[in-house]
């Protein structure tokens, strides 16, 4: 498994790589260019002349050099003083300085005042430093004498090129990630518009991959919920249609007088009453489940004693279990267990669990109600369990499914019941900040409910 690197770390690494690449390329290009110029005297002289002398000569040729010194000074100081490394002087044939860049220099060696004279020298200590001196005749017996001193290793341009190159390289290297973010956005749009089968391809090993995995997990969950919703509607239709069909059938028989005696009519009426009672019970379950999963449910919390609540149910349900050849036993904790909760909702939890045990327990077996206290992650809970021996063997995987809404082990849904009983239990317990779990212990199926003390 590849180690995940944080996106911020990736971007820093890419930026450093971009800088290293760009700086290396800039250094190579600079050295190539300097090497060419260093070995070519004519190239350097021509460059100095074209960049600093040509335009100045044109301006000076249009001036009265002897009689308008002020204008000449203005041209040199204001228009050409920004040119780094250059010094300009207007001199006569004897080297006397009329005006120039440096007011401290009043005379130039007359031997250097020769029209068209150029001199190129390289520093003995540093071959990258060179000097160009030259002299050009202007007019009126006046000459332009100039010097240029240059240290050839000015890295400003190189650094500028390196930074621009680094930026371009950085954008190129991260373009895949930027495009991937756009792909994620498009995938989310598709999922939001109802294409729940669409998934984001997982790339890289950073937060972008985690984001894609989380989006795919969300899409899986939404897809699963959509399937459950469709199954929910299908099962509701089936569970309501079956008793309604029975009721309507018997009503037609009664309407058409298709019965031979009062006893037969009473039988029809009792069957319809039973189906009607089942419908009312199922609709109540649907209503209760919807209410529990809504955001506006109101809880009526109060302090109650858990053993007393279990004892009340034991006394109320014991005879009904006997009628179904089952034994109901209670084993309560020796000390009072005080909890906070909505006793009406918690009574529904107990009622659903006992009804489940009554309906699915093996005949002539014993159903146990037990209470205790327990600590989970340093949190104290009041605990009660309902255990029974089921009629049919059940697997651990099936036990997990029992808490899903509308789940019935009987796929034909021939058994009466909404399939919401344990889903309602789970919802109520979660609303109380507790936990409910089902597990096997030998042949027993145990449902365990934990409520905060």
Indicate which CATH number applies to the domain containing 316. 3.30.565.10
| Structure tokens belonging to residue 261 | 């005696």
Which stretches within 293-395 are classed as H helix?
A: 306-323, 343-360
Number of domains in the chain: 3
161 within some domain: no
User: Are 148 and 81 members of one domain?
Assistant: yes
Residues 246 and 170: their CA atoms lie apart, in Å, by 74
Q: Residue 224, exposed/middle/buried by CB under 10 A (0-12, 13-18, 19+)?
A: exposed
437 within some domain: yes
Q: Do strands 117-122 and 97-100 pair parallel, antiparallel, or not at all (unpaired)?
A: unpaired
What is the structure's pLDDT at 366? 94
The pTM (predicted TM-score) of the whole model is 0.52
What is the structure's pLDDT at 88? 92
29 within some domain: no
User: Are 248 and 378 members of one domain?
Assistant: no
What CATH number has the domain bearing residue 274? 1.10.287.130
- What is the extent of the structural domain holding 59? 40-154
For residue 375, count other CB atoms closer than 10 A to its CB: 9
Residue with tokens 């042949």: 443
User: Are 335 and 432 members of one domain?
Assistant: yes
Residues 170 and 10: their CA atoms lie apart, in Å, by 11
Last residue of one domain, picked from the residues 154, 170, 204: 154
User: Are 277 and 305 members of one domain?
Assistant: no
What is the structure's pLDDT at 36? 44
Which stretches within 132-255 are classed as H helix?
A: 156-192, 207-255
8 A C-beta contact, residue 450 and residue 436: yes
- 3-class DSSP state of 439: strand
163 within some domain: no
User: Are 271 and 309 members of one domain?
Assistant: no
What is the structure's pLDDT at 412? 45
441 within some domain: yes
Rounding to the nearest 10 degrees, give the CA dihedral for residues 318, 319, 320, 321.
Answer: 50
104 φ/ψ sector (left φ>0, alpha ψ -120 to 50, else beta): alpha
What is the structure's pLDDT at 337? 94
What is the structure's pLDDT at 68? 84
User: Are 315 and 439 members of one domain?
Assistant: yes
* CA-derived radius of gyration, the chain: 48
User: Are 317 and 438 members of one domain?
Assistant: yes
Q: Do strands 379-388 and 97-100 pair parallel, antiparallel, or not at all (unpaired)?
A: unpaired
What would the DSSP string read from start to end of 5-69?
Answer: --HHHHHHHHHHHHHHHHHHHHHHHHHHHHHHHHT-HHHHHHHHHHHHTHHHHHHHHTS-TTT-H
Last residue of one domain, picked from the residues 120, 154, 188: 154
- 3-class DSSP state of 443: coil
261 within some domain: yes
User: Are 288 and 324 members of one domain?
Assistant: no
Last residue of one domain, picked from the residues 294, 319, 347: 294
User: Are 289 and 376 members of one domain?
Assistant: no
User: Are 305 and 279 members of one domain?
Assistant: no
Greatest extent of the chain over all pairs of C-alpha atoms, in Å? 152
Residues 73 and 64: their CA atoms lie apart, in Å, by 12
Residue with tokens 């290297």: 173
Residues 99 and 76: their CA atoms lie apart, in Å, by 9
What CATH number has the domain bearing residue 60? 3.30.450.20
56 within some domain: yes
Closest CA to 420 of 228, 286, 278, 239: 286
Residues 26 and 101: their CA atoms lie apart, in Å, by 35
Per-residue pLDDT of the chain (453 residues; tens, 9 = 90+): 455 567 778 888 888 888 888 888 877 766 655 544 555 778 888 888 888 898 899 988 888 888 888 888 888 888 787 788 899 999 999 999 998 888 889 999 999 999 999 898 887 776 668 889 999 999 989 999 999 987 655 566 667 777 888 888 888 888 888 888 888 999 889 888 888 888 888 888 888 888 899 999 998 888 887 887 777 777 777 778 888 888 899 898 888 888 888 898 889 899 999 888 888 877 887 777 777 777 677 888 999 999 999 999 999 999 999 999 999 999 999 999 999 999 999 999 999 899 989 988 999 999 999 999 999 988 999 999 999 999 888 888 888 878 776 555 555 445 555 567 788 888 899 989 999 999 999 899 999 999 998
81 within some domain: yes
User: Are 382 and 311 members of one domain?
Assistant: yes
């Amino acid at each position: 498994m590849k180690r995940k690197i944080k996106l911020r770390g990736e971007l820093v690494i890419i930026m450093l790589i971009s800088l290293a690449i760009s700086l290396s390329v800039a250094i190579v290009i600079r050295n190539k260019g300097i090497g060419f110029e260093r070995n070519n005297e004519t190239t350097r002289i021509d460059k100095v002349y074209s960049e600093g002398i040509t335009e100045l000569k044109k301006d000076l040729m249009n001036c009265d050099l002897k009689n308008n010194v002020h204008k000449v000074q203005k041209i040199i100081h204001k228009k050409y003083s920004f040119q780094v490394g250059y010094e300009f002087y207007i001199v006569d044939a004897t080297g006397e300085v009329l005006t120039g860049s440096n007011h401290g220099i009043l005379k130039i060696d007359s031997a250097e005042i020769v029209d068209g004279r150029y001199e190129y020298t390289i520093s003995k200590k540093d071959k990258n430093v060179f000097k160009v001196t030259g002299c050009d005749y202007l007019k009126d017996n006046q000459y332009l004498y100039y010097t240029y001193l240059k240290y050839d290793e000015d890295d400003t341009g190189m650094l500028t090129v390196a930074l621009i190159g680094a930026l371009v390289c950085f954008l190129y290297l991260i373009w895949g990630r930027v495009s991937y973010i756009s792909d994620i956005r498009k995938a989310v749009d598709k999922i939001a518009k109802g294409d729940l089968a669409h998934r984001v391809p997982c790339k890289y090993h950073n937060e972008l991959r985690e984001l894609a995995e989380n989006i795919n997990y969300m899409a899986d969950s939404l897809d699963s919920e959509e399937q459950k919703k469709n199954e929910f509607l299908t099962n509701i239709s089936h569970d309501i249609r079956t008793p309604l069909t029975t009721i309507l059938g018997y009503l037609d028989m009664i309407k058409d007088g298709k019965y031979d005696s009062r006893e037969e009519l009473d039988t029809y009426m009792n069957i319809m009453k039973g189906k009607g009672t089942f419908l009312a019970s199922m609709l109540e379950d649907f209503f209760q489940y919807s209410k529990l999963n809504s955001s506006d449910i109101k809880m009526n919390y109060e302090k109650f004693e858990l053993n007393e609540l279990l004892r009340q149910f034991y006394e109320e349900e014991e005879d009904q279990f006997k009628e179904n050849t089952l034994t109901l036993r209670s084993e309560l904790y020796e000390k009072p267990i005080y909890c906070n909760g909505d006793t009406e909702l918690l009574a529904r939890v107990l009622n659903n669990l006992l009804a489940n045990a009554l309906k699915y327990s093996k005949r002539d077996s014993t159903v146990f109600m037990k209470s205790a206290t327990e600590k989970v992650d340093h949190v104290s809970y009041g605990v009660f369990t309902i255990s029974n021996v089921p009629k049919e063997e059940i697997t651990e995987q099936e036990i997990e499914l029992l808490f899903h809404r509308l789940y019935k082990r009987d796929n034909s849904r021939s058994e009466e019941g909404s399939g919401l009983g344990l889903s309602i239990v789970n919802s109520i317990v979660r609303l109380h900040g507790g936990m409910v779990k089902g597990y096997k212990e030998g042949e027993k199926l145990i449902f365990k409910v934990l409520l905060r003390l």
